[in-house]
Amino acid sequence: MTGLQDALDGRWAHVRQEARKQLAGSHFVAVPGETIEQARARISRLITELPTDPGVGAAFPKEYGGSADPGGSVAAAEMLAQLDLSLMVKAGVQWGLFGGAVVALGNEQHHATYLPDIIAAKLMGCFAMTETGHGSDVQQLRTLCEYDPVTETFDLHTPHESARKDYIGNAARDGRIAVVFAQLITGGKSYGVHAWLVPIRDEQGNPLPGVTIGDDGHKAGLLGVDNGRISFDHVSVPRAQLLDRYGQVAADGTYTSSIENDTRRFFTMLGTLVRGRIVVGGSSSAATKSALTIAVRYGESRRQFTAPGETREITLNDYLAHQRILLTALAHTYALTFAQEELTVALHEVQTAIGDVDEHRQRELESRAAGLKAVQTWHATRTIQACREACGGAGYLAENRLAGLKADTDVFTTFEGDNTVLLQLVAKGLLTGYRDAFGSLDGWGRAAFVAEQVREMVLERTAARSLIQRLVDAVPGRDEEVALTDRGWHLRMFEDREKHLLDGVIRRLRKGAAQKKDRPFDIFNDVQDHVLDVALAHVDRVVLEAFVAGIDRASGDTKTLLSKICDLYALTTIEAHKGWFLEHGRITPARSKAVTGKVNDLLKQLRPRMGELVDAFAIPDEWLNSAILREEVGRQESMAAHDDLLSGR
Amino acid sequence: MTGLQDALDGRWAHVRQEARKQLAGSHFVAVPGETIEQARARISRLITELPTDPGVGAAFPKEYGGSADPGGSVAAAEMLAQLDLSLMVKAGVQWGLFGGAVVALGNEQHHATYLPDIIAAKLMGCFAMTETGHGSDVQQLRTLCEYDPVTETFDLHTPHESARKDYIGNAARDGRIAVVFAQLITGGKSYGVHAWLVPIRDEQGNPLPGVTIGDDGHKAGLLGVDNGRISFDHVSVPRAQLLDRYGQVAADGTYTSSIENDTRRFFTMLGTLVRGRIVVGGSSSAATKSALTIAVRYGESRRQFTAPGETREITLNDYLAHQRILLTALAHTYALTFAQEELTVALHEVQTAIGDVDEHRQRELESRAAGLKAVQTWHATRTIQACREACGGAGYLAENRLAGLKADTDVFTTFEGDNTVLLQLVAKGLLTGYRDAFGSLDGWGRAAFVAEQVREMVLERTAARSLIQRLVDAVPGRDEEVALTDRGWHLRMFEDREKHLLDGVIRRLRKGAAQKKDRPFDIFNDVQDHVLDVALAHVDRVVLEAFVAGIDRASGDTKTLLSKICDLYALTTIEAHKGWFLEHGRITPARSKAVTGKVNDLLKQLRPRMGELVDAFAIPDEWLNSAILREEVGRQESMAAHDDLLSGR
């Protein structure tokens, strides 16, 4: 285990190491080219064989056999993502979403009754929130659940097709029970969305009366996950099946809750489920690491054109264009790893804190989770695509794994929150300090389930606060005198961009609010691109600060190498936004050109370390399961021998 | 048929209209979620049912039942791409690559013997060029074919595993014969790569003696195409099977050719096959149009969040961020359609010209084909991905078609020439005028199969030469005085970028050549990113000029609308490169910001036309075969009715 691996494995290194041992070999690894039936059968079998300690049970309370280690459960999920993304998602549905909802929203009685079987994968369940007609706007779900004090039961009903539950994991095949989200109605009044534990299949696997189950069928990827559709035709649900931690219905139908406001209550309920989003972000990065390992190792052995007059062997990785893609992606992947680690720590601390949850920290956690999920999943989609292309035709064959990684991760940009919606949520959090300026004009959607509560997160420091402030303060006034690799300068550039974009959007919103009072939608929509830029700039800064904190924890050679990777991350990010920096006089044309020169220089310096950088991801060869990695080296050797023969004759 | 459709359908509108008729209904349309066996069986069957006139036979000589219409054959292939990309690729292998090679490289005898059965799909064949160890550098193929004057046969041999033919369409299942590319050796001397017609399977479909056939197995997409691997163990090939148009071997082993130089001969042979690359580019755009049609129509009917205080229905397409993605992609797709049309006309004119081929035009054609293929395939990958995300979870389900479009088109960025290699080829063409400056330092690969012959293509005008010059000349000296939608200004900005990038790369190469004489690879590699930028800037200009020419051919409302779309294309391209324009003082910060404002303004103006813009692609509903388009409208209606009820109680 190298220093680099240590730095990446982070606080839950023991969980990761344990997974590398417990799940060693190829037993749990994705099988390319399966039919949907084969994939579902295999994953349904494997899901019952997963170790629960420190694996899928990590997040559950100790009294039910868990280890009360939410951070560890995120790390464990990331490891599953390197084996098989279907397995990760299926586990995420069972233990994260379904089991997590029972823990977070249920009472002691629910816990005692259900958790042991849930943890042991004896009771497979669904998390039935999304509806066909409503993806992102979950507060507006149309499924109804009305209480009748005479029978002391709820009547659960799907009023029309667009209210059917859709894309629900575990629904098409394995789920026996579901946590169903619906509008709670009692005494003729609606109290907003709540959740019930509702059996959907009998022991033999047949749908229960009143329950109609459909199959979402073939998908782009994740074939091992049985997504389906569920509709309810006036299904009777006993009162005790309401997961009533945040809202209770008495036998006579009286509704009580410790949280007065329906919206606030709903978002508090959702807030407890933030872990799912963090797992999706982390899993995307985990898959990205698999793809990069394959592409970099292939590029290391694969010779391209003969270079006339060269005695050196030129491999794909020697090409600047190849480095521009793979090394830059590696640097961003490293950066995101430190940010994900920091986020996981924050999650862990919030969810293991004794006493009342600090609402401010909870909102900040949700915002960070949303932003990092968006950035990590888009990074995954782009990078895995680039890795596929970097391996040419070989990258397209299923046996080389990249096709599967690409297809499986693709949905992550829109599930557990659509990325665009999530970024608006982040921006809204940043804007909240200014909300008096435009009152309740909530035109761009009620996406923001934290919006109303977040306060003053603007430029709040992430980790290593004092270190970062010191670095920023040390930068002299005039940029031209500062080295391009000065960390304080990077930090200041990132911070400046975020701050200025935010100021600008506020100015524009104020102006819009004054001019377009009768068109609230337009006020926000006219600046939506600007709003998304604010969110992205914010996430960029959070990521850079996490990287800086991570470097600070390392030492020796590891520290030096990480610092160089951070230079590449920071400068390629500045380069990507050079238009903005130039428009706003934050950089001179000469310095902007110098940034590109410095990036190319860093690529040259890091070229010999490419292999090392992916080795530090420490993904076992069997997990990579890529035919080209097994074959390419041998091929190149036999070809070289043949060429020697040819040139000798 | 609208004016807009007219403009897009272009010169081969009759071929497109005929295809919409001949291939109407769902018979030829992709079937989501098939197994690889099902897909192969279906495509192998359908391939024999395709109309040959004006379809897959279009490019063949009239005496064998073709219509000698190479341009028409490109249009016909693009139509197949909207039905099923596996069908298009399988047809491309059979009639384009395999049949095309027999036409271009064979003699009269070969034509008479094989073409009738090839055209009728009675003789299925392969185009066996690529080897496992050599993708892009086809001049360095390792398969050997040595002539023996005693037996008057060639000995075809695969010397090692990396020399096996790989990714060969039609190989794994249907191919009976293959055009095999190998190093021709006679009299102990090698004459470079040539092609032979080599039977690989018997009547029963079993591999012939000495021929080993493998299966590339499951792929990311294109499941209906049976890609495979072929190795030869000293297979005896009769002398007459050499496709000897450009190089002949007499019975006694004497080699003759009208083209002295081996390299030049080889690239002349390859040049005749340029159509395949044009078909891939056009097919990518055709698939992009299918994806955009689905996403835009879905976004038109799908309501997102409720907008408080709004009486309007807000649909996905009303969001600026959605328009930023879909409308911008539409504008670029329109632009590429005009460029593809211009390229197809150029192909048609070169390949139907009487007498000797004008070498200069041939090289220009190859360069344009390379550049446009790269840009169109990357545009397809990005846009189809964006369309998938724009449809959320629904976009991930196979039944909605986007998953398949994405998976199938993905390989196009690296097949028929890796995009990066192709762009280097384009750049090399542009640099050739300057080649004396750095002599034969061919360090960044021998990719460029036109390189040595291209001359003075720099800033040569595409179509509508005088019109474009007039527009450019009309722009006043100071940009600040020019309207942002002034076409002359757009043209000048594009041209300026190309010219300046080219000048810069030449300067850097000269400097490098002086300093690094002993490291030829580094001279080019150090500026590879810059070289690729030159090529992209060149293609951007070619595309814009083609768009301008296309607008000039239209009239009335169509002309006005196309002009607005062209504004959006030009300004989003300038916006994407604003960093460069600012760095080089080509635009002021204030004007750069104004560009973004103007883009958003154009999006607002074009928002109501989105439906019309995709309707003009004229893709039959059955061809789109997308469940959400069939269901979404009905769903929205039932939901709206329900909401009315709810709000009434």
Tens digits of per-residue pLDDT, A518-561? 778 888 899 999 999 999 999 999 999 999 999 999 999 999 99
Sorting pLDDT into bands at 50, 70 and 90, what band is A637? low
Cis check: omega of the bond before A61, within 30 degrees of 0? no
| Option in B130, B520, B527 nearest A309 (CB) | B520
pLDDT digits (tens, 9 = 90+) for B203-236: 999 999 999 999 999 999 999 999 999 999 999 9
Q: What share of chain A is helix, strand, coil (3-state, %, to 5)?
A: 60, 10, 30
CB contact under 8 A, B582 and A579: yes
| Option in B396, B446, B585 nearest A589 (CB) | B585
Return the residue of A nearest to B600 by Cα: A526
ipTM: 0.92
Domain edges within chain A: 3-123, 126-262, 274-450+486-615
Whether B556 contacts chain A with CB within 8 A = no
Say yes or no to pLDDT of B446 above 50. Answer: no
CB contact under 8 A, B399 and A218: yes
| Option in A160, A395, A396 nearest B638 (CB) | A160
| Option in A35, A304, A593 nearest B583 (CB) | A593
Q: What is the predicted pLDDT for the residue at B447?
A: 31
Whether A388 contacts chain B with CB within 8 A = yes
Q: Which amino acid is at B638?
A: S
Say yes or no to pLDDT of A50 above 60. Answer: yes
The CATH class, in words, for B126-262 is mainly beta
pLDDT digits (tens, 9 = 90+) for A238-271: 999 999 999 999 999 999 999 998 888 988 888 8
pLDDT digits (tens, 9 = 90+) for B175-187: 999 999 999 999 9
Q: Which is more confidently placed, A356 or B600?
A: B600
Residues B98-118, mean pLDDT to the nearest whole number: 96
Q: How far is CA A65 from CA A54, A125, B149, in A?
A: 11, 18, 81
Residues 286-305 of B with CB under 8 A from A: 304-305
Tell me phi and psi for residue A26, to 5 degrees. -105, 5
CB contact under 8 A, A579 and B585: no
Residues B574-591, mean pLDDT to the nearest whole number: 97
| Option in A133, A396, A527 nearest B219 (CB) | A396
Whether A140 contacts chain B with CB within 8 A = yes
CB contact under 8 A, A639 and B142: yes
Sorting pLDDT into bands at 50, 70 and 90, what band is B475? confident
Q: What is the predicted pLDDT for the residue at A632?
A: 61
Longest dimension (CA), chain B: 97
Say yes or no to pLDDT of B473 above 90. Answer: no
Q: Which is more confidently placed, A628 or A644?
A: A628
Pick from A146-150, A235-239, A458-462, B609-613: least confident: A458-462
Q: Mean pLDDT for chain B?
A: 90
Ranges of H-type helices in B129-273: 262-271
Is residue A247 a contact partner of residue A265, using CB atoms and an 8 Å limit? yes
Mutate to test the interface with B, among A141, A162, A263, A385 (most CBs of B within 10 A): A162
Say yes or no to pLDDT of A16 above 80. Answer: yes
The CATH number that domain A3-123 falls under is 1.10.540.10
Sorting pLDDT into bands at 50, 70 and 90, what band is A610? very high
Q: What is the predicted pLDDT for the residue at A71?
A: 96
Residues 164-203 of B with CB under 8 A from A: 166-167
Q: What is the predicted pLDDT for the residue at A636?
A: 56
Whether A38 contacts chain B with CB within 8 A = no
Q: CA-to-CA distance for B62 and B70, rounded, in angstroms? A: 12
DSSP state of A404: H
Q: Which residues of B touch A218 (CB under 8 A)?
A: 32-33, 397-399
Residues B79-108, mean pLDDT to the nearest whole number: 96
Q: How far is CA B158 from CA A169, B145, B234, in A?
A: 49, 9, 8
Whether A447 contacts chain B with CB within 8 A = yes
Residues A308-326, mean pLDDT to the nearest whole number: 85
Q: What is the predicted pLDDT for the residue at B177?
A: 98
Ranges of H-type helices in B391-451: 392-396, 402-409, 419-431
Q: What is the predicted pLDDT for the residue at B635?
A: 58
Say yes or no to pLDDT of B437 above 70. Answer: no
Q: Which residues of A touch B642 (CB under 8 A)?
A: 142, 159-160, 163
Do domains A3-123 and A274-450+486-615 share one topology? The answer is no
Q: Which fold has domain A274-450+486-615?
A: Butyryl-CoA Dehydrogenase, subunit A; domain 3 (1.20.140)
Is residue B56 a contact partner of residue B96, using CB atoms and an 8 Å limit? no
Whether A210 contacts chain B with CB within 8 A = no
Residues B30-38, mean pLDDT to the nearest whole number: 95
Return the residue of B nearest to A627 by Cα: B216
pLDDT digits (tens, 9 = 90+) for A78-98: 999 999 999 999 999 999 999
Q: Mean pLDDT for chain A?
A: 90
Residues A464-485, mean pLDDT to the nearest whole number: 83
Say yes or no to pLDDT of B535 above 80. Answer: yes
Q: Which of B575, B567, B429 is nearest to B497 (CA)?
A: B575
| Option in A159, A162, A418 nearest B635 (CB) | A162
Percent of chain A whose pLDDT exceeds 90: 75
Return the residue of B nearest to A637 by Cα: B162
Q: What is the predicted pLDDT for the residue at B648?
A: 39
Pick from A250-259, A461-470, B406-415, B434-443: least confident: B434-443
Q: What is the predicted pLDDT for the residue at B140?
A: 82
Residues A573-579, mean pLDDT to the nearest whole number: 98
Say yes or no to pLDDT of A143 above 60. Answer: yes
CB contact under 8 A, B592 and A582: yes
CB contact under 8 A, A579 and B578: yes
Expressed in angstroms, the distance from the first to the final Cα of chain A is 47
Q: What is the predicted pLDDT for the residue at A450?
A: 30
| Option in B130, B306, B388 nearest A410 (CB) | B388
Q: How far is CA B243 from CA A562, B101, B106, B234, B600, in A?
A: 57, 9, 4, 19, 56
Question: Highest mean pLDDT range out of A381-390, B268-277, B346-355?
Answer: A381-390
pLDDT digits (tens, 9 = 90+) for B618-637: 999 999 999 999 876 555 55
Is residue A216 a contact partner of residue A229, using CB atoms and an 8 Å limit? yes
Residues A489-506, mean pLDDT to the nearest whole number: 94
Q: What is the predicted pLDDT for the residue at A354?
A: 86
Sorting pLDDT into bands at 50, 70 and 90, what band is A440? very low
Say yes or no to pLDDT of A474 above 60. Answer: yes
Q: What is the predicted pLDDT for the residue at B223?
A: 97
Q: For residue A145, give how far its alpha carbon lies from the nearest alpha carbon of chain B (Å).
A: 14
Percent of chain A whose pLDDT exceeds 70: 90
pTM over 0.80: yes
CB contact under 8 A, A579 and B579: yes
Whether A162 contacts chain B with CB within 8 A = yes
Whether A504 contacts chain B with CB within 8 A = no
Q: For residue B299, give how far its alpha carbon lies from the nearest alpha carbon of chain A (Å).
A: 13
Say yes or no to pLDDT of A1 above 60. Answer: no
Residues B566-589, mean pLDDT to the nearest whole number: 97
Q: CA-to-CA distance for A335 and A543, rounded, in angstroms? A: 6
For B452, other C-beta atoms within 10 Å of its C-beta total 18
Return the residue of A nearest to B215 by Cα: A397
Say yes or no to pLDDT of A644 above 90. Answer: no
Sorting pLDDT into bands at 50, 70 and 90, what band is B452? very low
Residues A617-640, mean pLDDT to the nearest whole number: 79
Q: What is the H or E stretch that residue B248 is in?
A: strand B248-249
Q: Which of B333, B328, B214, B253 is nearest to B285 (CA)?
A: B333
Q: What is the predicted pLDDT for the residue at B442?
A: 45
Whether B597 contacts chain A with CB within 8 A = no
The CATH class, in words, for B274-615 is mainly alpha
Q: CA-to-CA distance for B406 and B509, rounded, in angstroms? A: 38
Whether A597 contacts chain B with CB within 8 A = no
Q: What is the predicted pLDDT for the residue at A452?
A: 33
Is residue A565 a contact partner of residue A10, using CB atoms and an 8 Å limit? no
Tell me phi and psi for residue B110, to 5 degrees. -60, -45
Q: For residue B209, give how far its alpha carbon lies from the nearest alpha carbon of chain A (Å).
A: 24
Q: How far is CA A550 from CA A115, A331, A555, B588, in A?
A: 36, 13, 10, 39
CB contact under 8 A, B583 and A584: no
CB burial of residue A481 (10 Å; 0-12, 13-18, 19+) = exposed
CB contact under 8 A, A413 and B166: no
